[in-house]
Amino acid sequence: MARADGQAERGRAAMDWRKLVRDSFVSPREVARQLIGLELQPGILLQAAAAISALSVVLGFLALELGPGDLDQVSAAIITTPFLGAFIQFAAICLVALLTARIGSLFGGTGGFQASLTLVVWLNAMMLIIQMLQIVLLLVLPPLAGIVALAAIVWVLWAFANFVTELHGFENPFFVLGGVILSMIVLFFGFAMILAVLGITPQEPM
């Protein structure tokens, strides 16, 4: 056990993190394999998730101030209430990691929660980089920021599908992508039904 921990520690020290960032946008499955091999401990992952959540709220607030449009009331409340926003973001990271591990196992996947959390945390870290790029574009070339946002959505779906494929030992990332989209639709409607039961409905602007 100590030998395995030592090998993982040396792997983390030797990792070229800048190359890992670059490869995340072009070879996400290979990156997922490397990240899983690091065997990062839950404590480190939770700290990283907390830091990413805090930074995401800050960047979201900056984007809100620079952007031309208005957010809906719920999103605006989350972004302008830092502790609430960071908590929701942190909880979402953990929930997505848990669902990724659990749902994948229902289809014969072999990935565990720790590896799933590693990949979800990394994906959110990459999204921070994209957020930073969008903020720069909002300052110098606003129309391009919208194009980057659309491209980011496509990349996130594709990267996540590749991450799940590697995590659970699946073969076809396109099949996994279909499962990811279907799961998102089911979860969206389930969440909407819960809100309806609780009597929480979107409010029309005055």
**pLDDT means per 10 residues in the chain (206 residues)?**
53 73 94 95 95 91 72 62 87 94 92 96 96 91 89 94 96 90 83 68 50
DSSP-assigned letters across all residues of 32-66: HHHHHHH---HHHHHHHHHHHHHHHHHHHHHHHHH
Would you state the pLDDT for residue 92? 92
- Token pair of 53 as six digits: 């959540």
Q: How far apart are CA 152 and CA 57, in angstroms?
A: 18
Would you state the pLDDT for residue 82? 79
- Token pair of 45 as six digits: 């992952």
Would you state the pLDDT for residue 206? 44
pTM of the model: 0.83
Give the residue from 87, 126, 127, 119 showing the smallest Cα distance to 101: 119
Give the residue from 8, 5, 2 showing the smallest Cα distance to 36: 8
Interhelix angle 142-168/82-106, nearest 10 degrees: 40
Largest CA distance in the chain: 64
Would you state the pLDDT for residue 66? 76
Q: How far apart are CA 117 and CA 101, in angstroms?
A: 9
- Token pair of 97 as six digits: 């990691």
Q: How far apart are CA 156 and CA 8, in angstroms?
A: 27
Q: How far apart are CA 13 and CA 6, in angstroms?
A: 11
Q: How far apart are CA 178 and CA 18, in angstroms?
A: 30
Would you state the pLDDT for residue 95? 93
